[in-house]
Amino acid sequence: MELKTEVLQLDSATAEARIKRFIMDYVEKSEATGVVLNISGGVDSCTIAALSSLALGGSKVLGIFLPEEEAHNADDAKHTKMVAEKFGFDLEIIDISSVLKVCYHSLPIFEEQDKISKGNLKARMRMVFLYYYANRLNRIVCGSSDKSETMIGYFTKWGDVAADISPLMDLYKTQVRQLALYIGVPPEIAKKPSTPRLWPGQLAEQELGIKYETLDLILFGLERFMTPKEIAEQLKLPVTGVEEIRKRWLATEHKRRGPLTAKLAYRTVGADFRIPYTTQ
């Protein structure tokens, strides 16, 4: 198999149709009144908000923008409003700075300099707000995680990944960008550099030390059982770099599953219970 950009070329029309059908079907089977989602102004959340709106109609989609003062970026608010207006869904803006400060003060072991723990708290706080709205409005939470970030574990456990459905999770970041452009998400959003916005100036590619175009090809190769050596040779990369990505992928499995338990009984949750999602 040859690893080149073409392998990530998306059939956007089919992807759009299938994702919209998936969202409609799940909302209907859940007997929910619609979806709530965290909209951050980034490509993933803007794309899933737009797709949800195209699938369900704007009145059944509530985008919640949850900025906080430390990592605030004016473009995010502008882009969020732009997409909400274009695709006609409802938008709620809630500044979570004050509630975060309460948390910081309430945590006896809070450490300002530990930006990972602090950043994860922000992502989890957004999840708390989302699920409150979902409960109150009888809606499901629609996640925006993509395959690139999910595979390498570049997300907050029980935070930004927490959702009832994640319709983009089988598309790599570069494919989400293609789909975004296809459905009419403005190019300045579709092409803007990704960031989890957990601390000021945080940029995904800078933090990961790799461009998504390259990362996605590496992950595509790993998905198809290629060895790091084969991938590195084709992409003309040091094999240690590819091995590092592979290690990161395998080491973060705990973030993608429910909690592991000790097998003690006849049938065990998370191990050998296999119940269909769609049972009503």
Partner 1 sequence: MLRKINIAVAQINCKVGHKKHNIDLMKKHAKKAREKGADLLVFPELSLTGYLTRDLTYNLAEKIPGPSVNSLEQVAGKENLHIVFGMLEHSEKARGVIYNAAVLLGPRGLIGKYRKSQLPTHSVFEEKRYFRPGYQLPVFETDIGRVGLTICYDIFFPEISRLLRLKGAQLIICISASPAVRRKFFEVFTTARAMENTVFLAYTNLVGIEDGLQFWGGSRIIAPSGHIIAQAKYDEEDLVTGEVDYSELKRIETFVPTLRDLRPEFFDSLKTHTEDL
Token couple for 53:
């709106």
Q: Applying CB under 8 A, which of residues 12, 22, 82, 91 lies at the interface with partner 1?
A: 22
CB of 223 to partner 1, least distance (A): 12
Q: Applying CB under 8 A, which of residues 20, 26, 215, 222 lies at the interface with partner 1?
A: 26
Q: Which of 260, 178, 166, 253 is nearest to 216 (CA)?
A: 178
Q: What are the C-alpha distances in Å from 209 to residues 236, 242, 244?
A: 16, 12, 11
Applying CB under 8 A, which part among 16-24, 117-125, 215-223, 224-232 lies near partner 1?
A: 16-24
Q: Applying CB under 8 A, which of residues 1, 25, 138, 184 lies at the interface with partner 1?
A: 25
Decide: is 265 part of the binding site for partner 1 (CB under 8 A). Answer: no
84 versus 219: smaller Cβ distance to partner 1? 219
Residue 59 contacts residue 198 (beta carbons within 8 Å): no
User: How many of the chain's residues bind partner 1 (CB under 8 A)?
Assistant: 15
55 versus 242: smaller Cβ distance to partner 1? 55
Token couple for 258:
């429910």
> What is the CA angle 179-184-185, rounded to 5?
80
Please, which residues bridge with residue 216 across strands? none
Instruction: Report residue 257 CA to chain centroid gap.
Output: 15
28 versus 111: smaller Cβ distance to partner 1? 28
Interface residues with partner 1 (CB under 8 A) are: 17-18, 21-22, 25-26, 267, 273-280
